[in-house]
Amino acid sequence: MRFYITSFLIAVVTLISFAAVQFTGHIETRFLIDWDLPGFPLTHIHKGILPLPLYLLIYPLSECFHYMTVTFHEPGHALAYWLFGTPALPVIDAVHGGGVTYSIGRSRAVLGFLYLLMAGGAWLLAHKQNWRGLALLAVFAALHIALLLTGYDYPLAIFAGHGMEIAMCCWCITRATRVKNPLPKFERYITMIFGLHLMGRIILLPLSLILVDARRVTYGMQKGTPGSADLDKFATELGVPMEGAAWIMLAVFAIAMTVAAVIMTRRRAA
């Protein structure tokens, strides 16, 4: 019980400044302090939202977790792009903070290589008479073709960054709570705290977009260009308002956490 309480409290501390940023909407008026550092936007907090000493204490920790998130958020985009035949490169964004993934358009050679791999995998599974694996591969291939033909591969790649955050959140929490072959104590705490921090970020971002009008405006301008944010682009591709994209993200997270809860329950029962 001490493990869960301590992990939860530390995760909450790292989320306080993040929550304040999300729900104040980055309104630029009467700041706590009037200067910024590269990638460290102190002026994005309202005056009076947090006492300055507390803010300066917890914000660096929150930003540390933020850039840890970037290291798999952007590769999530890149992986989805490559999966549909589009070469892509994830990098840290030194101008606006966070990260960005550059893609150069679909390559027929890469796409052909992917289908060649699928065909080789199908032959190998059939040779080993692994019919369940072959059926799963056939479903994956059919879904892959359907997404390409309908053009929904691009919205999926846009969402894949947040999708990777959701997957990492579930992985961290299930890994930290496993009973068989548990992690060393220190690693267990770090994994659980980061998983809970991710959970908070995943919930707070869409909630702020649903509840705060100003946040929707500033979120879409986070790279200095209108409509450059992931959920903003995702909403545009699907033809829904940004609040709709935020609800989709919450729904995907709820499904993923349900699956994680089932896995944890089965492990403990076993």
Ordered per-residue pLDDT tens for the chain, 270 residues? 777 778 778 787 777 767 766 665 444 433 444 444 444 444 444 444 555 566 666 667 777 777 888 889 999 999 999 999 999 999 887 777 678 888 888 899 999 999 999 999 999 999 888 999 999 999 999 999 999 999 999 999 999 999 999 999 999 988 888 877 888 888 888 888 888 889 988 998 898 888 887 778 778 777 766 667 899 999 999 999 999 999 999 999 999 999 988 887 887 776
Q: Spell out the residues 6+ positions from residue 75 whose beta carbon is closer than 8 angstroms to its own.
A: 90, 164
Closest CA to 104 of 85, 82, 87, 126: 87
Report pLDDT for 25. Answer: 45
Report pLDDT for 269. Answer: 73
Report pLDDT for 135. Answer: 94
Report pLDDT for 43. Answer: 44
Report pLDDT for 111. Answer: 93
